[in-house]
Amino acid sequence: MKDIITLGIESSCDETSVAVIKNGREVLSNIIDTQIKIHEKFGGVVPEIASRNHIEAISRVTKMALEEAKITFDNIDAVTPTYGPGLVGALLVGLSYAKGLSYAINKPLVGVNHIEGHIAANYITYKDLKPPFLCMMTSGGNTQIVYVKDYCKFEVLGKTRDDAIGEAFDKVARVIGLGYPGGPKVDKLALNGKPTIELPKVHTDNLDFSFSGIKTAVINLHHKNPDINKEDLCRSFEETVTEMLMGKVKKAIEQTGIKTIALAGGVSANCFIRKEFSELEKTGIKVYMPDLKLCTDNAAMIGAAGYYRFLNGDISDLSLNAVPNLKLGE
């Protein structure tokens, strides 16, 4: 069978990334131009600045991706950009570039849901992984347990009612003075801390999450006692949110009887969450976790998800618009 090459394009937040993917699983190139340094001084992503930097980077990053993969536009079978969810201005840069490119080189355009991309990061790391499986999706904008019925068929079993887990990590980090992006910094401090501080856990009857309570509790604790041991606070926060995640993951496994689960999204780079997730293996559950470099935003995962959408015949037309609050399964 002829190889299928997808050109993944990602610009939903503060990473401009372009990747060349073979048959949905093999990364020929994955260039990531991150704006972290630019947004760091503001303590978070400034949408307008993100859009401007995507504009500046997109052509250069695409050229680098083609060069590294040693291909030309002629070799591409489909142009597959993220069209949501994300920051609307940022999304529009990658999507408009992709639409122009698709028209100019006369290759199909396939819009990709960013969340599907995170899930597909697992297909790159594990060549044998096939649906059905459960996926614990943990990122800066989303926290949901997804039943991946097929490559392009998803059911959300539970989701956060307020903050995403990554958002909670970032806000905790900001208030205790660690800066942006907070997740990796909290993770690092937590390594030397002890889980000595009791924090509230929200219990819901179903598979939904809530992280705003614990986030506010950490913020209040720090305001009342600015000298609180930050390492212990980070460790206590990390262990408590992990416990909340694992509780729901186990419930989802029990309810569905599905014994294969994947992790996905930026927060799946967290050491403690990865460790607790691997523990599930001891109970006969098959666990998949993407390579660390594929956990946070990148275009390889978008090219992988785009490949399966392309096979599914989901060709977009040039009227495709950015959808900032795009849901899975839409």
Residue ranges binding ligand KG4 (CB under 6 A): 13, 139-141, 166, 169-170, 181-184, 187, 265-267, 269-270, 296-297
Give the nearest distance from C-beta 315 to ligand KG4 in angstroms. Answer: 25
Structure tokens belonging to residue 215: 């986030």
Give the nearest distance from C-beta 261 to ligand KG4 in angstroms. Answer: 18
Q: Which is nearer to ligand KG4, 55 or 168 (CB)?
A: 168
Helix (H) / strand (E) element for 15: namely strand 15-22
Distance CA 172, CA 90 (A): 25
Contact call for residues 62 and 202 (beta carbons, < 8 A)? no
Across the beta sheet with 286-288, the strand order is 153-159, 143-150, 133-138, 260-264, 286-288
DSSP code, position 18: E
Tell me which residue of 185, 176, 172, 171 sits closest to 225, measured CA to CA.
176
Within 10 Å of residue 155's Cβ, how many Cβ atoms? 12
Q: Which is nearer to ligand KG4, 77 or 211 (CB)?
A: 211
Q: Which is nearer to ligand KG4, 251 or 293 (CB)?
A: 293
Structure tokens belonging to residue 64: 């680098």
Distance CA 121, CA 263 (A): 9
Give the nearest distance from C-beta 70 to ligand KG4 in angstroms. Answer: 28
Q: Which amino acid is present at 249? A: V
Give the nearest distance from C-beta 147 to ligand KG4 in angstroms. Answer: 20
Give the nearest distance from C-beta 43 to ligand KG4 in angstroms. Answer: 12
Q: Give 98-162 as a DSSP string.
A: HHHHHHHHT--B--EEHHHHHHHHHHHH-TT--SSEEEEEE-SS-EEEEEEEETTEEEEEEEBSS
Q: Which is nearer to ligand KG4, 6 or 17 (CB)?
A: 17
Give the nearest distance from C-beta 296 to ligand KG4 in angstroms. Answer: 3
> Is beta strand 112-113 parallel, antiparallel or unpaired with respect to 78-84?
parallel
Q: Which is nearer to ligand KG4, 29 or 242 (CB)?
A: 242
Q: Which is nearer to ligand KG4, 102 or 139 (CB)?
A: 139
3-state percent helix, strand, coil for the chain, nearest multiple of 5:
45, 20, 35
Q: Which is nearer to ligand KG4, 250 or 274 (CB)?
A: 274
Give the nearest distance from C-beta 190 to ligand KG4 in angstroms. Answer: 9
Q: Which is nearer to ligand KG4, 218 or 269 (CB)?
A: 269
Give the nearest distance from C-beta 168 to ligand KG4 in angstroms. Answer: 8
